[in-house]
A = this chain, B = another copy of it.
């Protein structure tokens, strides 16, 4: 099988100089496929037997996509006598700012395990020659037959979520410096205080304290992309039917070795209710009520847990003696991108 490829990683201006007989690979700085090239550039001949690749112009900050030529592309670029597979399968990738490459998951959709293995081997050889560092390979669940193929080439899981797993391979002989994946669950607890100085509490149906005579504040994990205050508003509404607005962040707890070995950050959000009628969530909540803070603190399970006793003291102090929580502002960050983020801090 002819495994010629025509990889383009150069500035557009120098492309014509590169695409000459004797070159089988070049790089091209573009953001997606090589449609433009396919249309507008032709080369008179091309030696498919040459495997050496010129990487001299491979630069860090180019956003590069690799292109293995299809028959149509090769026909446009080279005058060929050899037979070429029609529409050969292609792995696309781009470079990151740490000297690594990120494979485009869309480009691996239609591979068989065997074809993917061959293609990956070819790419790994290329990247190693190019002194690339980390290779990022996101495999959609629907293509999970490619996972063992990647693992057999030295890839390992990095992180995953429903729909896809990210695998990585570190190419240099030096120790791997790839950042690890998401390591933390983030949850919120809502301290909702009404005008009678009573707090909103629930009993859960399942979980570690499910079915026990134990009252707790409404809690929950934040959803993907959700901010702390929004999560607290949503959880309070879901679990108790109460509408509430955010006042401040009173404290947070950081602990390790939770579900499946992950770490956990739990933020206690002080909230002001705007409705007071209680409707317990059928699936999760066994009971819901308003309870004086002192009664909440007196529960044996809380009193016997030094951490939760302190949580109770802070709740009580924020009710009575002016303990102030952390406030926050949504601000635009422009260091390496333009995105909004919340900055949480005490009053300036």
Contact = CB atoms under 8 A, between A and B. Distances in A.
Interface residues of A, number: 95
A311 B255 CA distance: 26
Interface string A145-166: 1011001000011111111111
Contacts of A162: 156-158, 180
B183 A185 contact: yes
Contact of A253 (B156, B326, B341): B341
A141 B161 contact: no
Contacts of A97: 206-208, 210
Nearest to A220: B179
A39 interface: no
A311 to B, nearest CB: 7
Interface stretch (A6-14, A41-49, A84-92, A258-266): A258-266
A332 interface: yes
Copy total for this chain = 2
A183 to B, nearest CB: 5
A250 interface: yes
B186 A179 contact: no
Contacts of A223: 180
B179 A221 contact: yes
A305 interface: yes
A313 interface: yes
A331 B307 contact: yes
B283 A177 contact: yes
A122 to B, nearest CB: 21
Contact of A165 (B165, B257, B324, B345): B165
Interface stretch (A17-25, A75-83, A224-232): A224-232
B156 A181 contact: no
A341 B255 contact: yes
Nearest to A343: B253
Interface string A316-335: 01000001111001011111
A208 B329 contact: no
A336 B262 CA distance: 16
B348 A314 contact: yes
What 4 pairs between A and B have smallest CB-CB spacing?
A208-B336, A255-B341, A160-B160, A251-B345
